[in-house]
Structure 1
């Protein structure tokens, strides 16, 4: 179960800091960046249907792309439990606005799990620098993407000093990111998971990231809130792996490739717009579902 995180705030009085009362001219705001162009035909990719989770809720459909490279054991667990039907009918029992929506408990209380053993933590993973689409870097770290999931890694130059030619990385808890719930033991994740409604970096390297919503984030944000959620609770009516849906009714999905020229141009546009406040969480990947 995810424990609530206390948020603190501090304040100060201008009366105690007279130097701050002398306002200085503010720098001019950056000119508005142009709206992004429509992705070209070559900017799209088709996700592996074995790695797309189709969640039909009473509020609408959510598509989550799972990324085994980040957390192979957790992705396999979710795929297995989906095919067993464990997620069908599961309630969203803990939903916090500007945070996340939690589900996947057979007891619908936050206290249960599947009959399978708990999973070891996969908070970090190893990545070869060319496997990551870089959007920002500093002296010690880089930020980019693997598939649709934003990640942070050690700087690529460190790979030359490692035996496997890779660096350590972890997923960023941006809106839509899927994480695995657990108890106090880092190795206690089992069946429960959560989908982020907002950015929440406090979870990074503490909860396993296994994928990201590529369609239906509006549905996730529309789920009834509560801690716990009062009845009637919203629910996952049916959860399937995209590859298991009969071809005649299977949705056709494509999402903008993070390796595409469109993404590179969008990063530059957002950097011009946001300046030092730019974050990988600002990047929204266009998707088409037919």
Structure 2
């Protein structure tokens, strides 16, 4: 019997067929429609070479009473600030300081509660400078094209976005500059009114919806790889931008060290998916093209809607 041309199939039959497919009805074996891989499947099938270890010289381990917060620093984007932060950690500057601000849907901020009083402020560690330049962006041309895993999806804040070394990056090709974007878990250096007033002695992590309006206004220095939930679940501060009203409300920091200071056997054993790997675009595609439970598939992913996955080191 000759097959009925697709254009002559009654609309009612097409509707029934589509409804059956949506309801999960089995298809003929000859249909041979491949089921898209899930993100977990893509990561599970990735080769070990697509993952990288943490750099002990550029990773902070912050110890809170609630647990550990692991922060990866970004020396490519903020070399002077990262150098200062390393010196502060090596000198024990952050030990015994506190989380002084937790603003809902915004940031958790830590530093010296007495930092604004020069007479009472804790002195910076040896090797840390009290004055360094603002590092809001770097030349776009300084990033090799092979290192920049660009996103094809549109972004309302920048003409070009993607990932470099696992960090979310935005760029303006016309002005020739690139910068770390303020996504969830991004870490920045708090400053006062002067653009060059940050030193890394006061840091914050984004714990809410991505405040991209801060981009190019504050030096961003890294991102939280592990333990962001310990910061985002803290009690919110008062009406003054989330700063705690009373000293007893603050949350003490036990100590902050570079991983290089931690005995190797005691270091958190994590690996990060390389954003210049073959697995990265495959994993991104699983975020862009959702299946299974999803009824509507937007076929889109934004810069702050994804992050480089981590896994326990093998």
TM-score, normalized by length of structure 1? 0.78
1:11-63: CA deviation from partner (whole Å, max 9, x where unpaired):
xxxxxxxxxxxxxxxxxxxx9x8631234223311121101101111221111
1:72-100: CA deviation from partner (whole Å, max 9, x where unpaired):
00101111001111101111111112111
C-alpha separation in 1, matches of 2:37 and 2:71: 29
Equivalent positions of 1:232-247 (< 5 A) are 232-247=249-264
Structure 1 residues 114 and 260, CA, compared in 2 at 3 Å: closer, same or farther?
farther
Structure 1 partner of 2:306:
283
SS in 2 for 1:119: coil
Is 2:57–2:259's contact at 8 Å kept on the other side of the alignment? yes
Structure 1 partner of 2:191:
182
Identify which of 75, 80, 92 aligns with 1:85. 92
Is 1:59–1:222's contact at 8 Å kept on the other side of the alignment? no
Structure 1 residues 78 and 277, CA, compared in 2 at 3 Å: closer, same or farther?
same
Whichever of the two has the greater Rg, that structure is 2
Structure 1 residues 152 and 233, CA, compared in 2 at 3 Å: closer, same or farther?
same
C-alpha separation in 2, matches of 1:110 and 1:138: 45
Structure 2 partner of 1:9:
none
Is 1:148–1:214's contact at 8 Å kept on the other side of the alignment? no
**Offset of residue 102 of structure 1:** 0.6
Structure 1 partner of 2:165:
147
C-alpha separation in 2, matches of 1:187 and 1:171: 17
Structure 1 residues 225 and 268, CA, compared in 2 at 3 Å: closer, same or farther?
same
Is 2:154–2:302's contact at 8 Å kept on the other side of the alignment? no
Residue 70 (structure 2) pairs with residue 60 (structure 1): no
SS in 2 for 1:275: coil
Q: CA RMSD in A?
A: 2.7
**Offset of residue 224 of structure 1:** 2.7
Is 1:93–1:110's contact at 8 Å kept on the other side of the alignment? no
Equivalent positions of 1:1-290 (< 5 A) are 35-36=38-39, 37=41, 38-39=43-44, 40=46, 41-105=48-112, 107=114, 114-115=123-124, 116-126=129-139, 127-128=142-143, 129-136=145-152, 141-155=159-173, 167-190=176-199, 191-198=201-208, 199-226=210-237, 227-229=242-244, 230=246, 231-273=248-290, 275=298, 278-289=301-312
1:110-144: CA deviation from partner (whole Å, max 9, x where unpaired):
98575442221100112333331212366983211
SS in 1 for 2:49: helix
Residue correspondences, number: 251
Is 2:100–2:111's contact at 8 Å kept on the other side of the alignment? no
**Offset of residue 69 of structure 1:** 0.4
SS in 2 for 1:251: coil
Runs of 5+ consecutive residues of structure 1 not aligned to the other structure: 1-30
Is 2:147–2:165's contact at 8 Å kept on the other side of the alignment? no
C-alpha separation in 1, matches of 2:122 and 2:148: 33
Runs of 5+ consecutive residues of structure 2 not aligned to the other structure: 1-21, 23-35, 291-296
**Offset of residue 216 of structure 1:** 1.1
